[in-house]
Structure 1
Amino acid sequence: MEEIDKNNDRKRSQPLPVKNAGFRLGTSQEKGPDDHLESIVGTSEDIKAILSQRKDAYAVTWSPDGTVVAFVVGDTQGMEGQMYLWFSGDQRPKLISGITDRICDFYWSPDSQYVFVDTGTSAQRGGIIVSVEQHKEIGRIGYTHRPQWSPDSKMVALGVVRKVEPPIPWELDGTIDLALYNVETGELNVVATGTNEVYYYPVKWDRDGTLTYEKHFINNEKVERLKYKK
């Protein structure tokens, strides 16, 4: 067991640097935010070049295997817009129906088959799971802090709010459980229960399936780092 300092900083996804590549703007007559999102060939370099010139595109986040990019077209200042997936080799991106929101980050699963979409305006976040193969939402869950994908891409470790009366005023309506969300079944399994004295955050997964998480003591700000393995 190890005591550490608190570190709850949230990282934002940043667009990747691109090289100059041959491309053209689309001439589609369709009306909508995806007008002029079109590539001659649809190579990764073409797509990067197009998105780098779009002033209304943000949260550009490539999959671990480099074959598909998630991004938002909309209000870059207010961080609100429509989600898209663009597959390398496709001339146009795929609009993900129903996901127009205040989207802040994309978290890819290690196998590049799922995207965890982070939405919200407060510490209480909204998470949307998108299937890359199906091009659609397959689940939603409320959470806080930062999601952590398991190495096999089947689970997401999350901090989930539990309604109890905290000993001090804070933004959340309760404490925080440590939970595992199964992206295939939608099942949520609580592995560490928060109280009005402690709460939990996931930190990282090791390759062997061991989850490192933090136990936070509300009154004295003490933090312990612990391990969980199913």
Structure 2
Amino acid sequence: MNFHFYSPRNASGAAKAAPVFSRLTAMLLLLSAGLLPLDSFGFWVVNFGTARTMPRKRIGFAAGLGGQVVFLGDPSLTSAFFTIPHAGFRYGLAEHLDVGLRLAPIPLPFSTVGPGFGVNLDAKFWLTKPESKVDLAVVLGAGGAHVLIENSSRYAYSPNAALLATYNTNETTHFTVMGRYVNLAIPSAPEGARQNFVNIAGASFGLKKDLTPNISLLPEIGAYWYDGEIRGVKKSGPGFQYGVMLATSF
């Protein structure tokens, strides 16, 4: 998750609107936290943010819900989840550099795999100048996760990378296109990571709309190709994700 905040300093009505959106943010956080234990899971290929990084020493938080549909195998079987929670933080380390922590369920829609949960750390490098109409960034990350395979606890790791391009329509509206690659391997499963893995490559299209100087709405849709194997059972096919998040910073 790579949200970022920058808004016009003279935004009218911001002081009056801030308490309303602060309460909305708190409600969304509680909803997201309450839904995390549910038996629905999927990896967020979608990005939820722009190419710009957080300002130095500034913290951002976002939470929301979404869903995914994956068509796996031949003949194709549909795996769908419609209430997937997502949340995360970002912190500005330096000019053009921030780091993020994202909490996300795990991308394994196999019948032998139960619900899992993972944590991902990443660093985002903003490559363009602040006055640029189009922003570019690179995100490099690594995650760890816990999953259940045939009722046995297993641990997974997940290196990932993304390229982001954001077109700044105006000071409050930003359109982002992202390409992402994720590899999730389960070395602790029988036969190791060679027969227990997931490769995901895809793209997403997102909008960031600033509602106040520090509250933003981030809807996004994404499509990807899913190629995986669990205990020697291979499945591949297209997947689609959607979601919306509410983000703030302080």
Q: TM class, shorter-chain normalised?
A: under 0.3
TM-score, normalising length: structure 1: 0.27
Return the structure number with greater strand share. Answer: 2
TM-score, normalising length: structure 2: 0.25
Return the structure number with greater helix share. Answer: 2
In our comparison, the structure showing a higher alpha carbon Rg is 1
Q: Determine which structure has greater relative contact order: mean sequence separation of CA pairs < 8 Å that are 6+ residues apart, divided by chain length.
A: 2
